[in-house]
Chain A
């Protein structure tokens, strides 16, 4: 493959991988925060 084709490939992969990364980050941040709340609640109750 020539250099121009590689440039196009890396541009496309950079955009797609960035979107996928932040899609997962957003989902995990929202859903995972419930787990965090549970964990903190458990720690605080065992502190008493």
Chain B
């Protein structure tokens, strides 16, 4: 065991406070708008804190560290590209301002306003599939950090995962978005402190330090570990794709639920402007930790078992080098990072499954009118039933994640898995959301084409990469690296909307969004 009782006490106090926040906030939930978007009351700084916390989960720390372990400093390009995209959104209000004006709670709800209930249902199914798969590795990666850091036996990884999920599920069930936002604020401060402590200890450690890490990476990996253009894991194709995805990544439901919870469209735009200053840092710091873990496990004096394990090496190193007290602080910070992402994702995907899949099916079966009611529902489930079913789905999803995380084998690094599963949804969203907002001729058939064509390439990649020997020779470029199917899916999604809409303009005249339309 690497931690003392003082460290465990710090973690215990933090988890106790989180549970208390969940119990306190349960009284604020009166309907689905309170549960999913905190009654649209968030002010700027609170919203920035909760958005940064969501984007900086323990899984982010783990997969960025893995990238740093594997590719040295080259993945730093990811942080730069993401920051540039967030800056553009913050400056222009791209997508976010309009979506907040429309007062939607989920992205597929926009589909019902702009297209039809059927598009909402299709988009809801794809978003739920992409989101659940994307989140599939979150708990297991978080658990690996805890096990590696504390020095617990590796076979405990599944038990730790279930225990951590149970805490998150509890407070998310209690207060929905209100408890998520409240705990996110504490998590934001704590995980930032954990980042600072971890980085200072690495930089001042006699075996590590900036120059030792750079030398070790250069000696073992060569120039590709510094040059992202020459590095075969990145290159121009990845950079172009990642820039495009970063721009539309704001419509990723867990991210978007923050601006949708703000008190006005102006605040929704502003939080991107402010948080853009944090984007590069929150990517580079864990990547640097990963590069440090590589140097640590490849030093001559190292005799441990993690020299080739990009996922366990970083937490293992941290467990070895952190002094007592600081280790507890880092552990509490990382527990905060785990919870801040899981609560948001569980709530976001459960909300999508209930509001954009179950509720529309009920509305279609009941043949109810396609109009938004005062309580934010659309003729399917009532507001109270949506809250009830969202709570049930939070538990179901958490159980699924525990099983998936324990059984699934990664085709590439965790980071690549995240962005290829995200592509299932993002690619269709280029056509349905971006063109839906900025191109008047977007219509319902175009939206179906965009959603379905956009999802084909990434789903094919995920299936084919599990059975590489069965893939025909002409399709192998689609399996060798996720870069090509990811870029292809974006092109197919956009082209699907344009062609589908142009061909069917007469038979399916597009609906136009009125300024400030509420549906």
B185 touches A36 (CB 8 A): yes
B218 touches A17 (CB 8 A): no
Is residue B406 contacting chain A, with contact meaning CB distance below 8 A?
no
Could you give, for residues 216-227 of chain B, a 1 whenever the CB lies within 8 Å of some chain A CB and a 0 otherwise? 001000010011
Residues from chain A with a CB closer than 8 A to the CB of B288 are: 14
The interface stretch among B98-106, B273-281, B483-491 is B273-281
Residues from chain B with a CB closer than 8 A to the CB of A6 are: 73, 223, 226-227
Residues from chain B with a CB closer than 8 A to the CB of A22 are: 192, 196, 281
CB-contact partner of A32 in B24, B45, B196, under 8 A: B45
CB-contact partner of A46 in B28, B45, B284, under 8 A: B28
Measured in the bound complex, the distance between the Cα atoms of B280 and A18 in whole Å is 8
B48 touches A24 (CB 8 A): yes
Measured in the bound complex, the distance between the Cα atoms of B282 and A24 in whole Å is 12
Measured in the bound complex, the distance between the Cα atoms of B56 and A24 in whole Å is 14
Residues from chain A with a CB closer than 8 A to the CB of B199 are: 18
Measured in the bound complex, the distance between the Cα atoms of B275 and A3 in whole Å is 31
B45 touches A35 (CB 8 A): yes
CB distance from A11 to the nearest CB of B (A): 7
Measured in the bound complex, the distance between the Cα atoms of B217 and A11 in whole Å is 14
Residues from chain B with a CB closer than 8 A to the CB of A18 are: 199, 281, 284-285
Measured in the bound complex, the distance between the Cα atoms of B282 and A30 in whole Å is 20
Measured in the bound complex, the distance between the Cα atoms of B28 and A24 in whole Å is 29
Q: List residues 8-44 of chain A with CB under 8 A from any CB of chain B.
A: 10-11, 13-14, 16-18, 20-25, 27-29, 31-33, 35-36, 39-40, 42-44
Measured in the bound complex, the distance between the Cα atoms of B277 and A20 in whole Å is 6
B46 touches A36 (CB 8 A): yes
B277 touches A24 (CB 8 A): yes
Measured in the bound complex, the distance between the Cα atoms of B226 and A36 in whole Å is 42
Residues from chain B with a CB closer than 8 A to the CB of A46 are: 27-28
Could you give, for residues 280-310 of chain B, a 1 whenever the CB lies within 8 Å of some chain A CB and a 0 otherwise? 1110110010000000000000000000000
Could you give, for residues 171-202 of chain B, a 1 whenever the CB lies within 8 Å of some chain A CB and a 0 otherwise? 00000001001100100110010011001000
CB distance from B291 to the nearest CB of A (A): 10
CB-contact partner of B45 in A13, A14, A28, A40, under 8 A: A28
B25 touches A11 (CB 8 A): no
B227 touches A25 (CB 8 A): no
Measured in the bound complex, the distance between the Cα atoms of B214 and A3 in whole Å is 11
A25 touches B185 (CB 8 A): no
Measured in the bound complex, the distance between the Cα atoms of B282 and A19 in whole Å is 11
Is residue B80 contacting chain A, with contact meaning CB distance below 8 A?
yes
Q: List residues 17-31 of chain B with CB under 8 A from any CB of chain A.
A: 24-25, 27-28
Q: List 11 A-B contacts (CB under 8 A).
A: A3-B227, A6-B223, A11-B210, A13-B280, A18-B281, A18-B284, A24-B278, A35-B46, A40-B24, A43-B28, A46-B27
Question: 3 closest Cβ contacts across the A-B interface?
Answer: A21-B281, A32-B45, A17-B280
* A-B contact sample (12 more), CB < 8 A, given A6-B73, A28-B188: A3-B218, A7-B226, A13-B79, A14-B76, A18-B285, A21-B281, A29-B49, A33-B185, A35-B45, A36-B46, A36-B185, A39-B178
Q: Which residues of A contact B (CB under 8 A)?
A: 1-3, 6-7, 10-11, 13-14, 16-18, 20-25, 27-29, 31-33, 35-36, 39-40, 42-44, 46-47
